[in-house]
A = this chain, B = another copy of it.
Amino acid sequence: MQSQLDDAGGLRHLVTLEGLARDLLTAILDRAESYRRLPGQPAYEGRELAGVTVANLFFEPSTRTRASFDLAARRLGAQVVNLDMHSSSRAKGETMLDTIYTLEAMNADVFVIRDSEAGLPEYLIDHVAPHVSVISAGEAHLSHPTQGLLDVMTIRSHKRPFAGLKVAIVGDIRHSRVARSTARALATLGTTDLRVVAPESLLPAEGEFRGAQRFTRIEDGIAGADVVMMLRIQKERMAESAALDDAAYFRSYGLTAARLRLAAPDALVMHPGPMNRGVEISSDVADGPNSVIREQVNNGVAVRMAVLAAITATLTRHRRPL
């Protein structure tokens, strides 16, 4: 895969957090903070993306993430086209490139792509024109970079520095792109105490999540944690035989108020959504004082604005002159 940065070190694509430096991540988070508006405040409206066309290509349905990218782009003045890419009619590889080239010929500049299969974002990076950017909005179980960024943005507004933090991620780690991207962002920012907590069958393969401690008992995994990040059970990514009974899962791994008391007293409770209340998390914890789940969503729009603005600034240097 070609670099996600241009020769001047500007962010041109964002399909993975692997290989991105701490300074770059921090710059994105700082910019995101300038865009953040709390619920009830008027949304930031700017012109950073004026003259830019963003094409959302979602091969997986996603109301939330798509709305987040859509609003982020439009609040910065972009034109947005939303294209439903049905799996059945899906074009791969070279044919998919024809779709990209077609939209590029309509002066689309930024492609936001979500795909349940692996490989498309990297393939596109290697083939698009110098004035075109690719952002992954979720790729298979591998990568969800803006989610990783919004997670660390949420953590750092409550807890610093990253170096001393104890972070537990609980749930279906094996199939989770969120876990992978968030773990990567945390490592880049200096967190060394990461715990992955799941039933044996949902723990990651050996060699993944290097340096993380592995737990099969949630009580052990979240003990003393500063951050407890619960994941949604991803039934659509599991073989049927691996599917778990909701009630049994909740008994063994659900985050309840009682279990949360094992973590640090001011531990943050996080969840990428959508939640299955009563499966991986109880409602009183989801809505309780430790929960920053809605802050994550709020930060999500701000992070996507920051990524779009950073990429647009880079693209501007690669524009064809009029």
A residues sitting closer than 8 Å to B (CB atoms) are 37-43, 45, 50-53, 55, 63-64, 67-68, 70-71, 74-75, 79, 81, 83, 94-95, 98-99, 101-107, 129-132, 273-275, 277, 283, 294-295, 297-298, 300-301, 318-322
CB–CB B75/A71 < 8 A:
no
A74 to B56, alpha carbons, bound, how many Å? 16
Contact B43 A51, beta carbon cutoff 8 Å: yes
Q: Is the CB of A42 within 8 A of B37?
A: no
| Whole-angstrom CA separation of A295 from B130 in the bound complex | 17
Q: Judge whether A297 and B106 touch: CB under 8 Å.
A: yes
B-side contacts of A132, CB under 8 Å:
39-40
Does the CB pair B319–A40 fall under 8 Å? yes
A105 close to B39 (CB less than 8 A): yes
- A43/B39 in contact, CB under 8 A: no
Q: Is B38's CB under 8 angstroms from A42's CB?
A: no
Q: A273: which B residues are within 8 A, CB to CB?
A: 98, 102
A67 to chain B: closest residue by CB:
B81
Q: What CA separation (Å) do A50 and B52 show in the bound complex?
A: 19
Q: In the complex the two chains form, is A301's CB within 8 Å of B106's CB?
A: yes
11 A–B contacts from the bound complex (CB under 8 Å): A37-B107, A39-B129, A40-B130, A40-B319, A41-B319, A41-B322, A63-B99, A67-B83, A98-B275, A102-B274, A105-B294
